[in-house]
Structure 1
Amino acid sequence: MDQSTREETEKIELVIGKLLRVGVIISATVILIGMAMFIISGHSGYAGASHPTTPSAILSGVVALKPYAIMMLGLFLLILTPVLRVVVSIYAFFKEKDFLYTAITTVVLVILVIAMFIGYAG
């Protein structure tokens, strides 16, 4: 590995580290905002035991400032953080011309996406 490739790898590793930190901080902040709204208002924004289960229901609940939907958005962002890390890793391996790891990481991404759709459909 030559010097420029090593420097590029270090930059990508820093980006991945920042991505994980920022993702966790943003998701935790969104969850805390939703919890604070829930505590202050005393209700989730939904009747009875109902809650948003689809991305569109979560987004419409966030637009309507429903505390439970805001907490669900925070959880979605938390789940999305490692998925974005996999995407950045694919780019990093491709940039390093490490096609075996690029393929393996792409398979991992496909498995994650399939698992999300199975969870969404279930």
Structure 2
Amino acid sequence: MSMPPANPYGSPTVSTSDITYVGSQRRSRKLKRIEPISLGLMQGALFALMGLIPVILFVFMAIVSGVGGAMGGPGNPMSATLVGGVIGSILAPLIYGVMGFIGGFILALLYNFCASFLGGIEFEFEE
């Protein structure tokens, strides 16, 4: 049985001129391009997860202000406050995610533009 190639797509991922070996332990590669949709999706997902942090605050404030408002007088402001907290809890991660996607997409486009002039970022890996 033969071993499958290291790169299943068959095309070289980095040209051989970009790889330098120092003592056969380190190699250097350049990041020349970032796929905008890929970075946008990743950053959008990360920002949506970070958007869950304010959800805890929204729910806590809704409960505290709802209980405090219910003691104040006639009517039931607690339900309105809880509904506002639930809406904020749903919208916060959604808005963070959308803004993260847009920001990541624009960042990748700007990186690709600058990398076309400057050559990209050089990374050094150790095996």
Q: TM-score range by the shorter chain?
A: 0.3 to 0.5
Work out which of the two has the higher radius of gyration on C-alpha atoms and give 1 or 2.
2
Q: Which has the higher contact order (CA 8 A, sep 6+)?
A: 2
Structure with greater strand percent: 2
Structure with greater helix percent: 1
Q: TM-score, normalised by structure 1?
A: 0.39
